[in-house]
Structure 1
Amino acid sequence: MEAWMNTISPHARMVKIVKSSTLSGEWVDFDHVFTYIEQGEAEFILNGVKYLAKEGDIFLMPPFMPHIIRTTSAVPLIQYIVHFDLNYDDARSRWKVTSLIDEETKQISENEMVLADVVPVSHLRTADRIELKRRFLMLQKVFLDEKPNHFLVEKAFCIELLHFFFLGQEGEANQEGKLTKGWGLLEKSIHFINRNYSNPGLDNHTISKHIGVSTNHLSFLFKDQLNITIHKYLTHVRIEQAKLRIIEGNRSLTAVAKEVGFSSIHLFSRSFKATVGITPSQFYAAHSNIRTGG
């Protein structure tokens, strides 16, 4: 532990505050994700282990750790989120879309995975929460302003946030998560959906048949453990993939709709707006300057 602490040079890729009234979905990122819970409660399922998240909790997810999050409280969930690399790399510093997993982003050095075996959750005392939020907001301002030497200041704040994470683990037994009921079947289903979402004929029956259980049982597991239907999860995957392709900016919306498994542009547009809150064309306009290369 001491060795890597003495050698890291963090690079902040994204600093944001996310407020969600309802949230349910799975994410996988190629970098570290630091998440502080400012308000609300949620279930975090990390590699099949369920943690109950509440105000004052910090989650630290290393690269490629699948994380499913669903809100469980009446008040909106507010997350302070930082995406970062532990060690600066010039090529990686130009990657912006953190959930774009391809052959290039899959290549990762061993020194980026030193936190893979660390318990991914800690809980801060009230006084420490105040200090963490102050540091986070300062980091966000520096990140957005991009003034001279901002990279150096961002490194310092990232190191401080890591300090707060480990501070929250001191003096307390680490929060032990519970293995999610039926996780083996859910994991197989999620992987199957992620590999086959582009097939417009993919449905509950096809998925459950591949997994080897009844449609009713698989539907029960999705609702009971993830609080989401199989169809809604499939739609979530398709929309997330569509967003990545729209951001890339080299395909028509009709082509995007076909690539991610929608049978028509009309169904795609309707589903996209219902999920994201804006139309695909509005999303494209809002992200027209973002490209995977920087």
Structure 2
Amino acid sequence: MFNRRQLVQSLALTAVAGTLPVARAQAFPSKPIRIVCPYPPGATTDTISRLMANALQTTSGVTVVVENKGGAGGNIGTEAVARSEADGYTLLLGALGPLSANEALYPKLPFNPGRDFTPLALAAVVPLIMVAHPSFPANTVAEAVKLLRASPGKFSYASAGNGTPQHLAAEMFKQLTRSAVVHIPYRGSGPALNDVMGGQVPLLFEASPAVLPLIKAGRVKALAVTTRERIASLPQVPTLKESGVDADIGGWYGFLAPAGTPPDRVAWLTEHMRKALAEPATQAKLAELGSQKVDSSPQAFARLIESERKRWDTLIRERGIKLD
């Protein structure tokens, strides 16, 4: 028979043993992490999603996969993450459109950017570049503004589609320079670039990764970079601000978890993403894309999302921008 002391020890050991499977079940991460990219393969969003997946897998040892779930300007994939289980295993590649601009563009957004997600890390701010067909008779922003003002409605610009960051950047440029340029929307950056290279449309604002090879090949000419700093791969191309247009516009990309994800898992993801982004190989690749130096902290990312929501909401309403 057990004496009292033996009984207490036995019960204690039983209790500890009973908690071990639970502790093991709650270990994080214990299975692959999935990053949902709410755009098709091949875009800058896809590149940055896979860059983070590879870096995070290297630094943490955890398998990380990317799932492309495009459609509706990024809304379909973003909604899917908002409705997924908040367990830290399904993450979102967040971008300007679904997290900041789409609230003002879509009559009813199926998620709330401010309430449905927990920011983890801002990965990159990639400039757009104002480019023109080589035959366009202006070689600087100042010359372009003078030409556009003198001939309102004569010239046009292409975009990846209504409500895209490329469209919004061009409309902000028009507003700040008080110029009249006709918008020609396309279904994606590829067709828009093709027509600019072919000379059918003279002007375009496009993300740096898509146009850098074309600029270097002489297929288009660069007039200005839209972010606050020049980029290393085009040191001779001035910023809009240096050219007399007080604008700072960039396509930004970061990672988020569904709201309600346990704090310890958010902490793990935040710390390992910080380490992944700090890797020299990651930094080198981001620099190739033209990314600016950023504060990657979740606090800075949350502030950026909120400020951008206000900024683009104002522009969209003032310019009367519609999807159709």
TM range (shorter): under 0.3
Q: Which has the larger radius of gyration?
A: 2
Higher relative CO (Cα under 8 Å, sequence separation at least 6) belongs to 2
TM-score normalised to structure 1 length: 0.24
TM-score normalised to structure 2 length: 0.22
